[in-house]
A and B are shown apart, each in its own frame.
With several copies, the nearest count.
Chain A
Amino acid sequence: MTDSLDVAALTAWLDRAAAVLEREKARLTELDAAIGDSDHGVNMARGFSAVAAKLAGAPPADPAALFKTVGMTLISTVGGAAGPLYGTLFLQAAGQATGKPALDAPALAECLKAGLAGIVQRGKAEPGDKTMVDALGPAVAALDAAAGASLPQALAAAAAAAEAGMMATIPLVARKGRASYLGERSVGHQDPGATSSFLLLKALADTAAG
């Protein structure tokens, strides 16, 4: 059990995320087939496997450098809507992480908050639009609320909130991204981006849990 995540721990998180996304590729693709274009799983798996390879090839000096590498790699390998959005998340997080050798719960909360703000600025999605924002928003709120808790506890709470947010996308009518073209027909389907956001936060919580 740790109180903060250094470059090694963050790298372990992203390696784990790459493995999880590879494993969940088919499921994410299936979710995207229902209300999108069947590529979210393969896009995310491709991007995070590139991230893992990049980090292994040239280990970054600090969390800020790591986040920057992750963001740039995602932007140049994921494509689609998810690439710029997740890329922006990590680039904004890098700004918050600047100068810090390791990130504790409040620092991680700042990073995620800035990342989410970047996503909203890029994508203009509001809560309830049936996007990744609906998983990330509750996660940020949960991290804030868990101010006194240990890092693993705080991250577990964030992942749980993301999961709840992800489930809550099911009854929504999509108003952003491809699913919006379906109008009412998007109801009853879980948003793929909210799902990948949950998987990333779950991988983070699992990493912190050791």
Chain B
Amino acid sequence: MKKLINAPEAVVAEALAGMAAAHPGLIRVETDPAFVVRADAPVRGKVGLVSGGGSGHEPMHGGFVGRGMLDAACPGAVFTSPTPDQMLAAAKAVDGGAGVLFIVKNYTGDVMNFEMAAELAAAEGLTVDSVVIDDDVAVKDSLYTAGRRGVATTVLAEKICGGAAEAGLPLAAVADLCRRVNANGRSMGMALTACTVPHAGKPSFTLADDEMEIGIGIHGEPGRRRVPLEPADRVAEMLMEPVIEDLPFRTGDEVLLFVNGMGGTPLIELYVLYRKAHEIAERHGLKVVRNLVGSYITSLEMAGASITLLRLDADMIRYWDAPVLTPALRWGA
């Protein structure tokens, strides 16, 4: 295991300390329980947005805390959902009197912990709503399973809802917008290499030099199937087709196209992938009116990428474009 860390058990706390040192104007980092919170929280009269999840997906979620995006993020251990006490403390810290929205990725652990936190928060008199993101088309949706995973649409939901909350929309409207983003966002990912959970000390799986995994999530888990390594253009097809078919996206749809790196894949490759993904979108008659290219929701040092399409409406565009001032996303401010 080759990592720039000191000890597996110290990684999360030390990375948080690094964030705190690097972004004092934007965020504060609380340690007991641990959460990242806007430097100016709570913002009076504004809906508080709280997300969180296991660590190892940086910059998500802590890097998205700040004006125009999240009010707080709760980091768990690597790939481990955070706990209800973190979420409750974060909710209290950001409650400006307009209620709190939990944005939750659909993993059993995340869902249950946020549920418990919502129960505790309600018991303390806070108004809390929750939206679960489940956009990963690699997983067959079914009533009998845990359902689809929540992956890269989460980043888009956090930005768009952050813009809406900043604009003063009430909790119900922000939650509704969040559900709409989830309903219109679809993702699929792939890996060239596995990643190593610091505590585990060895890769979660192994791939031969001529293999790749299609349909991975963001936790170093194996994907739906292992296939021979293909050129980037073919990979773009393998990710885009199921995404487009699933919603389905249709001719004329205005979309945001998000090509995301898994942590170990450099930007030059993401742009090679974006080129083809954009071409495929246009071939299907989609209008790519917004996009995002970069490593925003990662799986430690995994090499690989995911592609997300979000069908946009006017609200989503407005709040996507709204100013944002966080460690990882910053524009107009």
Contact = CB atoms under 8 A, between A and B. Distances in A.
A90 to B, nearest CB: 14
Given A81-B108, A85-B112, A38 B200 contact: yes
Contacts of A141: none
Given A76-B84, A81-B108, A37 B77 contact: no
A176 B77 contact: no
Contact of B109 (A42, A77, A81, A180): A81
Interface residues of A, number: 34
A158 B95 CA distance: 47
Contacts, number: 117
A182 interface: yes
A79 B222 contact: no
Contacts of A123: 108, 112
A196 interface: no
B63 interface: no
Interface residue tally of chain B, by bracket? 35 or more
A169 interface: no
Contacts of B85: 75-76
B199 interface: yes
SS class of chain B's interface: helix, strand, loop or mixed? loop
Contact of A178 (B113, B200, B219): B219
Contacts of A33: 197, 200, 204-205
A41 B76 CA distance: 15
Contacts of A11: none
Contacts of A39: 54, 77-80, 197, 199-200
Interface of B: 8, 33, 54, 76-85, 107-109, 112-113, 115-116, 138-140, 144-146, 149, 197, 199-200, 204-205, 217, 219-222, 224
Interface of A: 29-30, 33, 35-39, 41-43, 46, 75-85, 122-123, 175-178, 180-183, 185
Given A176-B146, A181-B224, 19 more contacts: A39-B54, A39-B77, A39-B79, A42-B77, A43-B80, A46-B77, A79-B82, A80-B80, A82-B109, A83-B81, A175-B144, A175-B146, A176-B145, A178-B107, A178-B146, A178-B219, A181-B146, A183-B224, A185-B224
